Amino acid sequence: MSIHRPHPVLEILDLSVGFGDRPVVRGISLAIRNGETLALVGESGCGKSMTAFSILRLLPPGAAILGGQIVLDGIDLASVGPRQLRDIRGKGISLILQEPMTSLNPVLSIGTQIREVISRHERLSKAAARQRVIELLDLVGIAEPHRRYDEYPHNFSGGMRQRVMIAMAVACNPQLLIADEPTTALDVTIQAQVMDLLDRLRKQLSMAMLLITHDLGAVAQWADRVAVMYAGRIVEQAPVAEFFAGPRHPYSVGLLASSISEVEEWHYTNHRLAEIPGSVASSAGVTGCAFAPRCGRRVAACDAIPPLAQVAPQRTAACFHLVAGPAAA
C-alpha cells in the first residue's frame, strides 16, 4: 500500500548560487512539505544561509543564482520579476533572522512595524490592523499586548524581540517560514521557549518550516527531516529518527560524534568529544568529493563527485563508501 505524502510547499531543483563564475552552493535539491519542519544543518560557511536567502532572492552584493529552480505554487522564484517577488515575501514565504537585536527599527514602535507588514499584503483599516497586531502579540506570548503595541524595541528583552520578529513573520499566514538560526543570539534558557513557540505556530497555522541550524539537539527535538550540507552540497537527507539512529555519510557520522549527546551522558563528564580531522573545505574549485581529504573511508572513486542517490526509503546520501546503516551494522 502506498503512503500518502503531502505535496511539497516548496521545491528546490538543482540550485547553484555563487559570486561571478565561482559557485558556493552547488546542485541543491530539496522539497519541503506542508506542515513539516526540514532542518538544514552543517558547519559554518557550508552554504546553509546562502541557500535560505536565495529562496527569497535576498543574496549579498555580487551573489547571484547561477542555475536551477525554486518552485512555490508552480512559480519559479528564481526567475520572477521584482514586483511579484515582493508580493511573495512576507505572505507566501517569511524569514526570521538570527539577530533580533538588530532586525527591528529602533525608532518605530513594534506595533507600527508589524502593522506595516500586514498593510503591505492586506487591505485593512488602521483600527483593524491594530487589532490584528494585538492578536499576533498575544499569539506569540507577549503579555499586555495592548500596552506593548506602542513600545519600542529597546523596551523588550532579546527573547521578547525574537517573539516580535516571529509575530511579524506569521502576520500574513505564510505557507513557508524560514528560520535562520533563530535562537543563536538568545540565552540558553530562552532558546527552548522560542523553538517551542515556532513549533506550536507551525502546527496551529499549518505552515512548513525550513530550520537553518548547527544545533543537532534542536534538530532531534523539533525537526521532521534533516538535510546535511558540506562545502555547498547536500550530502545526506533522512527522516530525523532514522538519521540519529544511523547516519550514512561519513561527514554526518563525524557531526554526531563531535556533538554533546545526552544519550551517551557526555554532559558534565570527562568524556572527550570526537573531532573531524582537517579543515573545512572551500566549495570553490572542488573536483571530487569535498569531504574526501578529511575522511577515513576515502577510496579511489572519491576523486569524482559522488551523486546524491537513494540509499533507503526516504533517505539519500552522496558517498561512494557509505557507513553501514543500523540494519546492516
Domain annotation covers residue 122: yes
Provide the grid cell at 116.
506595516
CA atoms lying within 13 Å on the CB side of residue 275: 5
Q: Is 199 exposed, middle or buried (0-12, 13-18, 19+ CB in 10 A)?
A: middle
Please indicate, yes or no, if residue 119 is contained in any of the structural domains: yes
Residue 327 inside a domain? The answer is no
325 belongs to a structural domain = no
- Give the pairing of strands 75-76 and 63-72: antiparallel
Residue 171, in any domain of the structure: yes
- pLDDT tens string 140-198: 999 999 999 999 999 999 899 999 999 999 999 999 999 999 988 788 888 999 999 99
Q: Report residue 289 as a C-alpha cell.
A: 568529493
| Distance set, CA 84 to CA 56, 64, 115, 188, 210 (Å) | 11, 18, 21, 39, 22
Domains held by the chain: number: 1
- Has residue 162 been placed in a domain? yes
Range of the domain at 170: 8-317
Q: Is residue 262 part of a domain?
A: yes
2 within a domain of the structure (yes/no): no
Q: Of 218, 215, 217, 237, nearest to 227 (Cα)?
A: 237
Question: Sorting pLDDT into bands at 50, 70 and 90, what band is 320?
Answer: very high
In this predicted model, what pLDDT tens digit does every residue of 29-50 receive, in sequence order?
999 999 999 999 998 889 999 9
List, for residues 46-93, the tens digit of each pLDDT value. 999 999 999 999 999 999 999 999 999 899 999 999 999 999 999 999
Rounded to whole angstroms, the Cα distance separating 304 from 282 reads 16
- Report pTM: 0.91
The total number of residues shown for the chain amounts to 329
Q: How confident is the model at residue 285 (pLDDT cuts 50, 70, 90)?
A: low
The enclosing domain of 212 has a CATH number of 3.40.50.300
Question: What is 131-195 written as a DSSP string?
Answer: HHHHHHHHHTT-SSHHHHTT--GGGS-HHHHHHHHHHHHTTT--SEEEEESTTTTS-HHHHHHHH
